[in-house]
């Protein structure tokens, strides 16, 4: 995967402006403060009057200001100014750019990428010298998501034209800065701003649930509107899959989001599609665990444990009804259908997909206050089935603690549920908590003495506990032998260099020796006695 990345440690928050502003000309009023430039969201400035202004004729007014600022900030080498360009789509002069230091390569950050910059900002007008109102040059770098409205429009537009390592000046007219409102008290209304920005790098947008960079997105074409698909949406996409720069798949696919395994859509791509908009075209980079994992995809020529990428375009989708939009009857129907689908996926060995289906039962019914009395038993039965089936999936996936939790939920509704007791016991035994597991299996045997599997599980637990006790006893014996050797060494040290007790300290040292020896013997006897008690209590019926 090739993309620029930020090498330095970055602050987690998006507030990038210095808390203490370094003004060249401070007001007497010490209240001249300003929040983060990177956290000041542009107000969309819908004024037609502002949008119709053409600033091309005004650019010459700032030439002298630019030159003076470049001179003030120059180092030993003369800065390289390539050209002044208008980067606004309408070529109105709303954002003018001059490159001070060219960047590396040909790539620029895209919409949604996480960029990292240093900046200095000045207020501009036709009368006075530019006044610096903020800089983070001496502080942490500023990090924000490009194109998300987290900064002024001029920044979103300007930084998207920069390359890694580039330093540039931007003149932002009011409609691309803070407009008719300004940002009191620091920025007056209708004030153009000048920024010097250095782009250190960027990271692709991380869509993975755990933010482990396992699912990264590079947006090539922004989608339409703001609506995104949800779990259960009917979606149609065009995709091209790449492994080692070779195409392994090029097709259109129509499927239900969340059940993409039916058409060989990996888990990570489905997760990413939840963040797509209509007509969006993006590249999705998947780490192996979010792609085809340890199994690979031999039919596609993909070996196990390899990373892949997809170029994806969302052609259409129809959102599924949200749970809060459903009536009680619709929730029951959704829960029943999810149970059937989950069983089908479980039998096919798709445990993760089955788990998603069983979760729908909980989503629909766990907090359903409007269930009529005559349907309460059905609701309870479906919920218990959901918990139990989820426990089975967790056991298959080796998520034992999660299995214990859902079994606890099932037992709250039905304290004598045999499957819940058995599966909780299995999960605890898999975590080597055999004493707790034994309790579950013994309760199960008391409820149903003819349950042979439970009786066998009791025997297995008892054997494991017995073996552990023997192992512990062996450890304690070895410890005792070690203590004896240490004690003998102490005794030798109590003797004089001639090998006899000193008369004045003979009794004292003998007493210390006997006390230490007696203490060690008593401790070992107690340990052995406790081990025997544990063994007897665990094997008793």
To the query of whether residue 134 is one of the catalytic residues in this protein, the response is: yes
**Candidate list 65, 113, 134, 440, residue with the active-site label:** 134
**Candidate list 65, 87, 99, 133, residue with the active-site label:** 133
To the query of whether residue 133 is one of the catalytic residues in this protein, the response is: yes
**Candidate list 178, 346, 387, 399, residue with the active-site label:** 178
3-state secondary structure of 193: strand
At 247, list the tokens.
């195409």
Contact predicate 139/119, CB 8 Å: no
CA–CA gap between residue 407 and residue 412 (Å, rounded): 9
To the query of whether residue 152 is one of the catalytic residues in this protein, the response is: yes
**DSSP alpha helix (H) spans, 203-322:** 267-273
**Candidate list 69, 152, 265, 361, residue with the active-site label:** 152
CA–CA gap between residue 233 and residue 443 (Å, rounded): 44
The candidate with the shortest Cα–Cα distance to 101, out of 61, 123, 74, is 74
To the query of whether residue 414 is one of the catalytic residues in this protein, the response is: no
To the query of whether residue 358 is one of the catalytic residues in this protein, the response is: no
Chain centroid to CA 99: how far? 36
Contact predicate 157/88, CB 8 Å: yes
Whether the CA torsion 530, 531, 532, 538 is positive or negative: it is positive
Helical (H) or strand (E) element with 194: strand 193-203
Residues 6+ apart with CB under 8 A from 179: 42, 43, 45, 47, 50, 189, 190
Tell me if the bond preceding 185 is cis, omega within 30° of 0: yes
CA–CA gap between residue 31 and residue 50 (Å, rounded): 29
Strands (E), 287-354: 308-318
Contact predicate 242/248, CB 8 Å: yes
**Candidate list 62, 87, 113, 119, residue with the active-site label:** 119
The candidate with the shortest Cα–Cα distance to 212, out of 288, 111, 150, is 288
To the query of whether residue 195 is one of the catalytic residues in this protein, the response is: yes
Burial of 337 (0-12, 13-18, 19+ CB in 10 A): middle
At 116, list the tokens.
């990292």
3-state secondary structure of 496: coil
What residues act catalytically?
Answer: 119, 133-134, 152, 178, 195
């Amino acid at each position: 995967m090739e993309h620029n990345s930020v090498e330095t440690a970055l602050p987690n928050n998006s507030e990038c402006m210095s808390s203490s502003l370094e003004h060249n000309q401070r007001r007497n009023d010490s209240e001249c403060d300003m929040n983060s430039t990177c956290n000041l969201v542009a107000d969309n400035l819908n004024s037609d009057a502002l949008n119709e202004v053409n600033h091309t004729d005004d650019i010459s007014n700032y030439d002298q200001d630019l030159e003076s600022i470049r001179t003030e900030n120059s180092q030993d080498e003369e800065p390289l100014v390539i050209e002044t360009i208008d980067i606004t789509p309408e070529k109105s002069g709303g954002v003018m750019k001059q490159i001070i230091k060219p960047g590396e390569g040909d790539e620029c950050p895209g919409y949604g990428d996480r960029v990292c910059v240093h900046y200095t900002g000045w207020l501009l007008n036709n009368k006075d010298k530019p006044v610096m109102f903020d800089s983070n040059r001496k502080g942490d770098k500023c990090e924000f998501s490009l194109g998300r409205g987290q900064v002024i429009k001029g920044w979103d537009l300007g930084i998207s034209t920069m390359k890694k390592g580039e330093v540039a000046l931007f003149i932002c007219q009011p409609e691309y800065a803070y407009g008719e409102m300004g940002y009191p008290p620091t920025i007056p209304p209708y004030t153009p701003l000048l920024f010097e920005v250095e782009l250190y790098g960027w990271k692709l947008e991380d869509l993975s649930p755990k933010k482990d960079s396992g699912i990264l997105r590079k947006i090539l074409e922004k989608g339409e509107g703001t609506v995104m698909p949800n779990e259960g949406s009917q979606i149609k996409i065009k995709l091209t899959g790449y492994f080692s720069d070779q195409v392994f798949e090029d097709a259109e696919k129509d499927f239900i989001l969340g059940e993409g395994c039916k058409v060989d859509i990996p888990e990570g791509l489905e997760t990413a599609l939840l963040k797509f908009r209509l007509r969006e075209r993006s590249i999705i980079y998947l780490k192996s665990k979010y792609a085809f994992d340890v199994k690979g995809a031999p039919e596609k020529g993909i070996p196990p444990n390899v990373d892949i990428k997809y170029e994806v375009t969302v052609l259409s989708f129809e959102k599924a009804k949200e749970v809060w939009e459903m009536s009680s009857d619709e929730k029951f129907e959704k829960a029943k259908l999810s149970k059937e689908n989950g069983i089908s996926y479980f039998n096919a060995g798709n445990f993760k997909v089955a788990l998603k289906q069983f979760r729908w039962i909980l989503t629909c019914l766990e907090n359903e206050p409007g269930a009529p009395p005559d349907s309460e038993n059905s609701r309870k039965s479906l919920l218990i089935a959901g918990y139990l089936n989820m426990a089975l999936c967790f056991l298959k996936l080796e998520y034992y603690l999660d299995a214990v939790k859902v079994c606890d939920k099932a037992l709250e509704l039905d304290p004598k549920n045999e499957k819940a007791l058995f599966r909780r016991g299995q999960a605890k035994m898999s975590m080597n908590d055999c004493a707790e597991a034994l309790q579950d299996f013994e309760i199960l045997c008391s409820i149903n003495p003819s349950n042979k599997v439970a009786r066998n599980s009791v025997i297995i637990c008892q054997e494991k506990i017995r073996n552990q006790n023997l192992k512990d006893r062996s450890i304690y014996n070895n410890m005792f032998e070690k203590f004896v050797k240490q004690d003998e060494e102490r005794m030798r040290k109590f003797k004089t260099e001639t090998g006899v007790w000193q008369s004045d300290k003979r009794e004292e040292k003998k007493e210390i020796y006997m006390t230490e020896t007696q203490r060690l013997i008593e401790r070992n006897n107690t340990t052995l006695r406790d081990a025997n008690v544990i063994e007897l209590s665990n094997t008793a019926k």
